[in-house]
Amino acid sequence: MLLFRKSNSKYRLAVLAALVTAMILGTVQMITDPPLLLLERFVKGFGWIEVFLACAFAAIVINGMNEIFV
């Protein structure tokens, strides 16, 4: 895949973290009947915004950790 070539290896872990977060939280958002995501409990449909924000946060944290430890 173009995204995971050696030249783009700087962001590989960040993209992977965002995708894993999206898969896990997306599954939680779709399957659970009483909403488990906090924003979904207050405003209907805002759980997907929380999923997006969690994915962005995961990518930023992993990217920062990658810069510090590698």
Contact (Cβ atoms closer than 8 angstroms) between residue 36 and residue 26:
no
Question: What's the first-to-final CA gap in the chain, in angstroms?
Answer: 23
Q: State how far the Cα of 6 lies from the Cα of 4, in Å rounded to an integer.
A: 7
Contact (Cβ atoms closer than 8 angstroms) between residue 51 and residue 29:
yes
pLDDT digits (tens, 9 = 90+) for 28-59: 999 999 999 999 999 999 999 999 999 999 99
Contact (Cβ atoms closer than 8 angstroms) between residue 50 and residue 35:
no
pLDDT band at 6 (very low <50, low <70, confident <90, very high): low
Question: What pLDDT is stored for residue 37 in this prediction?
Answer: 94
The total number of residues shown for the chain amounts to 70
